[in-house]
């Protein structure tokens, strides 16, 4: 078998598909000409990304003095997978269309490098993919299974909830477990994904004891968290990748192997008047809203990235809210029974006497993501700004 030179293929594939080009198309969300809050996120200047190696070496949880390379999120995932596959023979990578590089390019060149026994396509069956992965994990492998979109994980819900999550518990003394399992899935809105290319089902998994649910916000975080999920965590991990960041978020990522601990939140920005808690892509919206309100009013807002949605870092959040006395929780998925409900309930239970305002939740409305309505359904900078303002003024 011969293939085109990888460099050529890579160059061709790296070309952006039309939907990612500016200006945005009519089917995508277009900012109002007079908008001052709901502007497109400028990923080139956001303080959430390491635009130079210098900020990276100052970051906690990242290796100091590492050689780095500027990568976007899909390249960072690819780098983590390459590192994982070369670190251990036990790591397998499979799912629908992963062999040629994946529909989001996350597995590019990996089959060529590591062989078709370890990186391969499966038939189009989500329940089969996850069931197969559980079985491989039960015999000691470290399968990284890909579900092409989080919207299509539901056929595998039974395998995740009843099998992967309960495997160690029901095996008990036999010590059988599916701890080597990682299930990756692109999630979240992308501007024109409508009902079945936009979902973020993290709260459904967060209701299931036995699995860990992780969502990175950036390339460097994705690599460290994914390697941690594969090698350090002995529990099944649902690893959700905000697909809108695959190409949009670019930053310096350490070249070496490193891990970021699961179930640990990160305080992105310290503050003393209010705590904003979020995860994944909405953190960029939070960051913009915080910058706007701090500039307008002189308040100081703390921003926390949960990183792991379950089991989550309650201590970091409670410690922060006990200091600030006010909290706003932001996420993209629906507000009803969402992650915000759990965070808000935990705050009222653990910081009741310090609260000076009700905990506010900014999240998707309790509807489906209708194609042309996306910008009105999901949280945006204006809604976050307003929630912070109301909570401060309460």
Partner 1 sequence: MPPKLLGRGAVQIRWRKVATSPRRWGSSISQRPGSDSVRFPGAVNSKFTTQMSFVKPADIPAIPTYRVMDSDGVLVDTDRGPPDVTDAEVLTWYKNMLTVSIMDVIMFEAQRQGRLSFYMVSAGEEGVTVGSAAALSPDDVVFAQYREAGVFQQRGFTLQEFMSQLFSNKNDNGRGRNMPVHYGRKYPKMHTISSTLATQIPQAAGAAYALKLKALQNPNHPASVVACYFGEGAASEGDFHAALNMAATRSCPVIFVCRNNGYAISTPTLEQYRGDGIASRGIGYGIDTIRVDGNDIFAVYEAMQAARKLALEGGPGGGRPILIEAMSYRVSHHSTSDDSFAYRARVEVEDWKRRDNPIIRLRKWLERQGIWDEDRERETREDLRRTILKEFGAAEREKKPALREAFTDVYEEMTDETREQMQELKRILQTYPEEYDLRQYEGGADSL
Residues in 230-289 that interact with partner 1 by CB under 8 A: 234-235, 263
Considering only 6-14, 56-64, 67-75, 319-327, which stretch makes contact with partner 1 by CB under 8 A? Answer: 6-14
- State yes or no: residue 136 binds partner 1 (CB under 8 A): yes
Task: Tell whether omega for the bond before 259 is within 30 degrees of 0, i.e. cis.
Answer: no
- State yes or no: residue 7 binds partner 1 (CB under 8 A): no
- State yes or no: residue 122 binds partner 1 (CB under 8 A): yes
Q: b or e along 196-213 (b: 16 or more beta carbons within 10 Å of the residue's beta carbon)? A: ebbbbbbbbbbebebbbb
Instruction: Assess whether 266 carries a catalytic annotation.
Output: no
Q: Cα separation of 299 and 198, whole Å?
A: 34
Q: Smallest gap, in angstroms, from Cβ of residue 335 to partner 1?
A: 23
Q: Which of residues 181-200 bind partner 1 (CB under 8 A)?
A: 190, 192-193, 196-197
Q: What are phi and psi of 299, to 5 degrees?
A: -75, 170
Residue with tokens 């705050």: 347
Residue 314 burial (CB count, 10 A) = 17
Q: Which of 171, 256, 349, 356 binds partner 1 (CB under 8 A)?
A: 171
Closest to partner 1 by CB, 108 vs 253, is: 108
- State yes or no: residue 372 binds partner 1 (CB under 8 A): no
Considering only 51-59, 60-68, 114-122, 247-255, which stretch makes contact with partner 1 by CB under 8 A? Answer: 114-122
- Number of residues binding to partner 1, judged by CB under 8 A: 75
Check: CB of residue 279 under 8 Å from CB of residue 309. yes
- State yes or no: residue 86 binds partner 1 (CB under 8 A): no
Considering only 98-106, 282-290, 329-337, 351-359, which stretch makes contact with partner 1 by CB under 8 A? Answer: 98-106
The DSSP code sequence of 98-142 is TTTT-TTSTTTTHHHHH-TTTEEE--S-HHHHHHHHHHHHHTT-E
Can you give 255-278 as a three-state secondary structure string? CCCCCCCCCCCEEEECCCCEEEEE
Q: Which of residues 31-60 bind partner 1 (CB under 8 A)?
A: none
- State yes or no: residue 176 binds partner 1 (CB under 8 A): yes
Closest to partner 1 by CB, 68 vs 199, is: 199
Q: Which of 31, 40, 47, 128 binds partner 1 (CB under 8 A)?
A: 128
Closest to partner 1 by CB, 143 vs 242, is: 143
Q: Cα separation of 67 and 214, whole Å?
A: 26
The active-site residue, picked from 197, 266, 331, 374, is 197
Check: CB of residue 320 under 8 Å from CB of residue 304. yes
The active-site residue, picked from 96, 126, 241, 302, is 126
Helix axes 282-297, 381-393, angle to 10 degrees: 50
- State yes or no: residue 110 binds partner 1 (CB under 8 A): no
- State yes or no: residue 159 binds partner 1 (CB under 8 A): yes
Q: Which of residues 313-332 bind partner 1 (CB under 8 A)?
A: 314-315
Q: Cα separation of 86 and 120, whole Å?
A: 16
Q: Which of 177, 203, 316, 324 binds partner 1 (CB under 8 A)?
A: 177
Q: Cα separation of 308 and 261, whole Å?
A: 9
Indicate the helix (H) or strand (E) that contains 354. none
- State yes or no: residue 17 binds partner 1 (CB under 8 A): yes
Instruction: Assess whether 331 carries a catalytic annotation.
Output: no
Residue with tokens 């992780």: 214
Residue with tokens 């649910």: 213
Residue with tokens 């979020």: 278
Q: Smallest gap, in angstroms, from Cβ of residue 214 to partner 1?
A: 14
Structure token digits, residue 111: 């089959």
The catalytic site residues sit at 126, 197
């Amino acid at each position: 078998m011969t293939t085109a030179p990888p460099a050529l293929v890579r160059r061709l594939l790296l070309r952006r598909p039309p939907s990612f080009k500016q200006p945005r198309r009519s089917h995508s969300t277009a900012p109002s000409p007079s908008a001052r809050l709901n502007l497109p996120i400028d990923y080139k200047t956001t303080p959430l990304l390491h635009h130079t190696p210098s900020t990276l070496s100052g970051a906690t949880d990242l290796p100091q003095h590492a050689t780095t390379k500027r990568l976007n999120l899909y390249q960072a995932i690819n780098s983590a997978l390459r590192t994982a596959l070369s670190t251990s023979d036990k790591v397998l990578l499979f799912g629908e269309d992963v062999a040629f590089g994946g529909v989001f390019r996350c597995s590019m060149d990996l089959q060529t490098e590591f062989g078709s026994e370890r990186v391969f396509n499966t038939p189009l069956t989500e329940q089969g993919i996850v069931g197969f992965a559980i079985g491989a994990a039960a015999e000691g492998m470290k399968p990284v299974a890909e579900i092409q979109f989080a919207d299509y994980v539901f056929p595998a819900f039974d395998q995740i909830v009843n099998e992967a999550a309960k495997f160690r518990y029901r095996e008990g003394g036999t010590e059988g477990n599916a701890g080597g399992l990682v299930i990756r899935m692109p999630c979240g809105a992308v501007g024109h994904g409508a009902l079945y290319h936009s979902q973020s089902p993290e709260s459904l998994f967060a209701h299931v004891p036995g699995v860990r649910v992780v969502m990175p916000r950036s390339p460097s975080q994705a690599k460290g968290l994914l390697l941690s999920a594969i090698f350090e965590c002995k529990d099944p991990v649902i690893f959700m990748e905000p697909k809108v960041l695959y190409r949009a978020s670019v930053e310096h990522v350490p070249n070496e192997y490193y891990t970021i601990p699961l179930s640990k939140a990160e305080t992105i920005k310290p503050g003393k008047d209010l705590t904003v808690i979020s995860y994944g892509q909405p953190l960029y919206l939070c960051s913009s809203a915080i910058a706007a309100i701090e500039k307008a009013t002189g308040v100081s807002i703390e921003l926390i990235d949960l990183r792991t949605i379950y089991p989550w870092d309650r201590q970091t959040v409670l410690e922060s809210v006990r200091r600030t006395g006010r909290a706003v929780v932001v996420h993209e998925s629906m507000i009803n029974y969402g992650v915000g409900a759990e965070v808000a309930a935990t705050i009222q239970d653990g910081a009741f006497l310090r609260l000076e305002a009700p905990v506010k939740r900014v999240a998707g409305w309790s509807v489906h993501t209708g194609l042309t309505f996306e910008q009105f359904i999901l949280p945006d900078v204006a809604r976050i700004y307003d929630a912070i303002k109301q909570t401060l003024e309460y």
